[in-house]
Each structure stands twice: as structure tokens, then as C-alpha cells.
């Protein structure tokens, strides 16, 4: 089994994910220091005790998560926050977080991977967040229906997809923003998207989509954000020739 020095893995992730280019409240990059050498890398959506225990049981040296422990504000080491930090330190697991860098990455990002799974070519990025566009506008080579798009999305992330079918019978352009991206529905409409895919529904945009004649598909926050981590796992395995494992700890949200 191959073993790589942690600083080399960290530096590669920093550069590949462009973590220093994103101006957000989440602290991206290495959040908790652990073992000096990495033989196995784990991946999970959330930095929680369940993820840490699963990683420790699987002998993971580095855990990469989408939702990390630190979000730009002071937080006392008490309660669940203390339990998480203690579990990590006792296990000597390095914790690396990539929030918006994982959503927006053009290759292994959640939105790029969703577009790929749906057979869409990316025409452009939109949804600027403090200077960085996050969402993608995908284009189907042939016209598709809302039900066809729903079937493809279910195949990619699970059969729980909710479809609000308010748009045209056939279309080509689809906006995609994983997680909590419903606020981008109006912008997606202005750039020509007939359908929009995100994770969580928001009451305030239901009637907007209906009145504007736009399809919206909700695939749950968690499930729309597993696809990028799985792609990153495959990439890191190929680059460093180390073992990787994705830990599925769903929230049904």
C-alpha cells in the first residue's frame, strides 16, 4: 500500500480545488491536523461524529468533507463540537474541508458531475458568490422532457427526486446548483434555463417557478452533494495510488 506525506496531499488538494480563491464563511482546507503519512483517504459529506467513527473504523488517515467544522465564527469546544474534535484528535485523523470549491470545480465538482451524469454539456457558470460563479447551465444535445430529466437524475442520485413540472414540454437548457441553491431559480430563468436542479425546496420560489413556467427538480441537499466527493475520491486514488473510501451517512434532507 502506498503512503504519501500529508503536506504533499494537502498542497495538492489546495491547488487542485483552488481553496484560496473562494471568499466564503466556511474555512476551506485542512481544519484538524492528524497523522503525518497518508495511506487511506476517506470522503464524507458532513463533518460529524458518525463520519469520524466510520473513518476511524476503516483506518482512514485523512477525511475529506464538504461540510466542515468551522464556518468563520468562534465556537466554544463544548457539547457536540467538543465531541467531534475529540473523536478526530483521538483517532489522529486529518480533516480537510472543501465547501464551495467542491460545488464549483469544473471537473469533479458537484454541479459539473451532475451535468455529466445527466448527459449535459456545460455552456456557462452562473450564480456569483462573492466573485465566484458556482452554478452551471447545462445543455442537452437533443430536446428532452421533464420526466426524462427526472429519470436521469434518479439514476444518478436516487429515486427520491421531487419534480415540480411547470415548464415547457421539451427543452434543452438546465440550471444546476447542488445543495441549497433554490435562490438561483430566477437567475437561471433569465439566462435561458427551462429547468433547474437543486437539493432543498424553498417555499418562496414555488410560485415563482409555476408562474414563470419553469421545471424544478429537488434531489435533497445531501444526495446532490455526494457526487462530487465520489469523483474526487476516484481522482485522488488515481493521482496518489492510495486507497479511498466514501462513507454514506444520509440525512434524508
The helix/strand/coil state of 12 is helix
Residues 6+ apart with CB under 8 A from 159: none
pLDDT single digits (tens) 64-101? 999 999 998 889 999 999 999 999 999 999 999 999 99
- Residues in the chain, overall count: 253
Tell me the three cell numbers of residue 159: 429515486
CA dihedral 10, 241, 60, 39 (to 10 degrees): -80
The answer to whether position 227 is within a domain reads no
From residue 230, how far is each of 5, 66, 152, 189 by CA, in Å?
A: 22, 11, 18, 30
CA atoms within 13 A on the CB side of 125: 15
Which sign does the torsion angle of CA 181, 22, 52, 154 carry? positive
Residues 125 and 210 in one domain: yes
Residues 144 and 48 in one domain: no
First to last CA, the chain: 37
CB of 37 within 8 A of CB of 59? no
From residue 155, how far is each of 5, 22, 114, 158 by CA, in Å?
A: 37, 31, 11, 6
CATH number of the domain that 178 lies in? 3.40.1390.30
Residues 85 and 153 in one domain: no
Residues 127 and 197 in one domain: yes
What pLDDT, on a 0 to 100 scale, did the predictor assign at position 134? 96
What pLDDT, on a 0 to 100 scale, did the predictor assign at position 2? 86
Q: CA-to-CA distance for 207 and 205, rounded, in angstroms?
A: 6
Question: Nearest 5°: CA angle at 65, between 99 and 250?
Answer: 105
Radius of gyration of the chain measured on its C-alpha atoms: 19
What pLDDT, on a 0 to 100 scale, did the predictor assign at position 43? 99
| Domain of 192, in residue numbers | 104-222
What pLDDT, on a 0 to 100 scale, did the predictor assign at position 143? 98
The answer to whether position 157 is within a domain reads yes
Residues 179 and 76 in one domain: no
φ, ψ dihedrals at 86, nearest 5°: -60, -45
Which of 81, 98, 115 is at the close of a domain?
Answer: 98
What pLDDT, on a 0 to 100 scale, did the predictor assign at position 1? 66
Which of the residues in the chain have pLDDT under 50? none
Parallel/antiparallel/unpaired status of strands 195-198 and 215-218: parallel
Amino acid at each position: 500500500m502506498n503512503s504519501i506525506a500529508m503536506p504533499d496531499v494537502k498542497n495538492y488538494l489546495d491547488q487542485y480545488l483552488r481553496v484560496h480563491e473562494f471568499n466564503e464563511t466556511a474555512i476551506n482546507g485542512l481544519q484538524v491536523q492528524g497523522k503525518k503519512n497518508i495511506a487511506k483517504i476517506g470522503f464524507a459529506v458532513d463533518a460529524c461524529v458518525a463520519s469520524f467513527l466510520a473513518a476511524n473504523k476503516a483506518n482512514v488517515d485523512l477525511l475529506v468533507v464538504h461540510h466542515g467544522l468551522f464556518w468563520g465564527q468562534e465556537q466554544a469546544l463544548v457539547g457536540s463540537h467538543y465531541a467531534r474534535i475529540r473523536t478526530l484528535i483521538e483517532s489522529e485523523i486529518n480533516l480537510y474541508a472543501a465547501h464551495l470549491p467542491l460545488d464549483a470545480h469544473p471537473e469533479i465538482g458537484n454541479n459539473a458531475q451532475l451535468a455529466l451524469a445527466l448527459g449535459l454539456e456545460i455552456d456557462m457558470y452562473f450564480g456569483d458568490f462573492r466573485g465566484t460563479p458556482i452554478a452551471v447551465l447545462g445543455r442537452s444535445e437533443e430536446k428532452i422532457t421533464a420526466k426524462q430529466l427526472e429519470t436521469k437524475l434518479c439514476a444518478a442520485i436516487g429515486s427520491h427526486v421531487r419534480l415540480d413540472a411547470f415548464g415547457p414540454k421539451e427543452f434543452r437548457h438546465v440550471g444546476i446548483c447542488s445543495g441549497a441553491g433554490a435562490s438561483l431559480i430566477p437567475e437561471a430563468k433569465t439566462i435561458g434555463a427551462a429547468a433547474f436542479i437543486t437539493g432543498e425546496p424553498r417555499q418562496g420560489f414555488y410560485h415563482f417557478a409555476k408562474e414563470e413556467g419553469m421545471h424544478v427538480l429537488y434531489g435533497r441537499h445531501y444526495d446532490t452533494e455526494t457526487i462530487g466527493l465520489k469523483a474526487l475520491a476516484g481522482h485522488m486514488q488515481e493521482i496518489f495510488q492510495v486507497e479511498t473510501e466514501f462513507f454514506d451517512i444520509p440525512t434524508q434532507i
